[in-house]
Structure 1
Amino acid sequence: MKLNLVEIPRVKSISKEDFYNNYVKKQRPVVIEQLTKDWPAYEKWKLEYIKEVAGDKTVPLYDDRPVSHKDGFNEAHAKMKMSDYIDLMLKEPTNYRIFLYNLMKEVPVLQNDFKWPNIGLRLVKQLPMLFFGGENSKVFMHFDIDYSNILHFHFHGKKQCILFAPEQSKYLYKVPHSLISREDIDFDNPDFDKFPALQYAEGFVCNLNHGEMLYMPEGYWHYMKYVTPGFSMSLRAFPRKLGNLAKASYNVFIMRHFDVLMRKWKGQDWIDYKNEKAIENTHKVLNVN
């Protein structure tokens, strides 16, 4: 039995009016295949090029270990020279990933390789963050703390993306006081006996190829798997909905700090409590249905 997923619509190109009216306004995802065709990055952004211009940088790495009370917020699990990391990615599968890394600040030449798209969103004009992953590495199911509209561009290879709209949260075993679902859920091969609510969730899926862009609306859950080694870049626009702005403010200024405080106070008991509540809260919904 598989998740209930439909393919995300695809267009080769789109006007900013159609993009805004058909996708942003309706808060529906879409893949735009040729948005980057006129970017220098379309030809240049391969892993070998990143190794050439940024190989001497020491980068933070993350793997798929479960959240621990000992970890700080977004604290890296290891560090490595970018050149060594890319060599590892090209040699064999690895679950090491680079997450939300401001490589463009350290390697300014990369800033010349992309263009801010005029696509109907007021993008935040800060340097874009980059994400890297080895073959079969996975990014756990989560939503972004700031509820932004996200333009997610992929380069070098293929990446699978599974999305769920915010209204599907009730089926996704959301961990309280956090941005994630239970980390022991395998969204490639879900255990519906252990997590029965997942069979009611309705989501989206796509495989992003080199140069393609995925639009993820405000507060959308997303799970990513690097089918091949590759890397991605995200541009973001603040949420348009007042309710989502309020949720983003709560997450940034209250929830995150409360969770850090409770980890320090309660330790692993706090993590275990939250994971138990994720199941309890989700299964209450099933009883109602």
Structure 2
Amino acid sequence: MPRVENPPWEVFNTYFVQRAAPVIITGSPLFSGRNLTLDDLTRPGPGDIPVSVRSGNYLNIKERRYEEMPLSRYIEEHIRPWEQGAATAADGSALPHYSGNTPLTWEQFEALGLKAPQCFDGQKFDAPRLWFGPKGSATPLHYDSRDNLICQYIGRKHFILFAPSQIPWLYMRDYSPAWSSISDPRKVDLNKFPLFARAKAVEVTLNAGEMLYLPEHWAHFVLNVETSMMVNFWPEMTPAQERKTKLKKDLYQLKLKFAS
């Protein structure tokens, strides 16, 4: 996947967005200034922001448990112990607790001391989504129905990506998001999922200070290589997109009903 240093917006839009071609952008002024630390995020203000925390076997979305807590508590109870060598989560789970997909108000986003990218032409961003977790926390394989700008502010994340052409081999279900029955593409039972052997992946690591443009319908599994804080931005859905999404979700549920 190409890495392009701070391209002019019209270049980014013409050569990547309009072609639905993923790209990593480096050198953006969004990331200028002092690097954030855990101490910055636990002080009053940022540390008071409520975050949604996943626990249990959350790679299986049916087995996830959720808890809400202030960001400062999450860092002290679940980030710092893992950085200091904890082998299991506080509740004994093998997976570390993960603050994933927390919607932020723009006031909360600014309280974190972050800068947002420019949205796509003629569109506005939906609420920013915060993803914060220690090494080993992960998001199962899925795809979204909107273009995505992924801004990495702390640490590194590793992505295993599959282009839309690979979706027939990924055992997807539901829509917006569409989840794969293969939660972790690093560990696949090919006797159970034989079609996955045909799937071709692209793997990239996103470093702090980089931004990934991921077009809609690109399936992705995401692993935190080290303590990582990322915020992703989806454009607001138009009324037509909302109707299309609802129709596809309704058709999927109808298909399940008749299948049972």
* 1:213 CA drift (Å): 0.3
Asked if the contact 1:46–1:155 (Cα under 8 Å) also holds between the matched residues in 2, the reply is no
Structure 1 residues 258 and 20, CA gap change in structure 2 (3 angstroms) = closer
Counterpart CA distance in 1 for 2:116 and 2:150 is: 14
Residue in structure 2 matching 1:34, options 24, 27, 43: 27
Asked if the contact 1:39–1:115 (Cα under 8 Å) also holds between the matched residues in 2, the reply is no
Q: Which residue number in structure 2 is paired with residue 46 of structure 1?
A: 37
Counterpart CA distance in 1 for 2:42 and 2:251 is: 36
Percent identity for Structure 1 against Structure 2: 23
Higher-helix-fraction structure: 1
Higher-strand-fraction structure: 2
Q: Which residue number in structure 1 is paired with residue 14 of structure 2?
A: 21
Asked if the contact 2:106–2:128 (Cα under 8 Å) also holds between the matched residues in 1, the reply is no
The two structures, once aligned, show a CA RMSD in angstroms of 3.5
Q: Which residue number in structure 1 is paired with residue 115 of structure 2?
A: 114
Q: Which residue number in structure 1 is paired with residue 52 of structure 2?
A: 60
Q: Which residue number in structure 2 is paired with residue 280 of structure 1?
A: none
Structure 1 residues 111 and 249, CA gap change in structure 2 (3 angstroms) = farther
Counterpart CA distance in 2 for 1:228 and 1:112 is: 21
Counterpart CA distance in 1 for 2:107 and 2:70 is: 13
Structure 1 residues 257 and 182, CA gap change in structure 2 (3 angstroms) = same
**1:236 lines up with 2:202 in the alignment:** no
* 1:114 CA drift (Å): 0.5
Counterpart CA distance in 2 for 1:239 and 1:15 is: 25
Q: Which residue number in structure 1 is paired with residue 73 of structure 2?
A: 84
Unaligned runs of 5+ in 2: 90-95
Structure 1 residues 256 and 101, CA gap change in structure 2 (3 angstroms) = farther
Structure 1 residues 124 and 257, CA gap change in structure 2 (3 angstroms) = farther
Per the normalisation by structure 2, the TM-score is 0.78
Local SS of the residue matching 1:43: coil
- Structure number with higher relative contact order (C-alpha < 8 Å, ≥ 6 residues apart): 1
Per the normalisation by structure 1, the TM-score is 0.71
Asked if the contact 1:47–1:156 (Cα under 8 Å) also holds between the matched residues in 2, the reply is no
Residue in structure 1 matching 2:162, options 161, 164, 186: 164
**1:193 lines up with 2:191 in the alignment:** yes
* 1:227 CA drift (Å): 0.8
Task: Name the aligned partner's letter for residue 131 of structure 2.
Answer: F
Counterpart CA distance in 2 for 1:200 and 1:258 is: 25
Q: Which residue number in structure 1 is paired with residue 93 of structure 2?
A: none
Structure 1 residues 203 and 173, CA gap change in structure 2 (3 angstroms) = same
Task: Name the aligned partner's letter for residue 175 of structure 1.
Answer: R
Structure 1 residues 123 and 99, CA gap change in structure 2 (3 angstroms) = farther
* 1:157 CA drift (Å): 0.8
Task: Name the aligned partner's letter for residue 42 of structure 2.
Answer: K
Local SS of the residue matching 2:201: strand
Task: Name the aligned partner's letter for residue 207 of structure 2.
Answer: N
* 1:48 CA drift (Å): 2.8
Structure 1 residues 249 and 45, CA gap change in structure 2 (3 angstroms) = farther
Counterpart CA distance in 2 for 1:78 and 1:163 is: 29
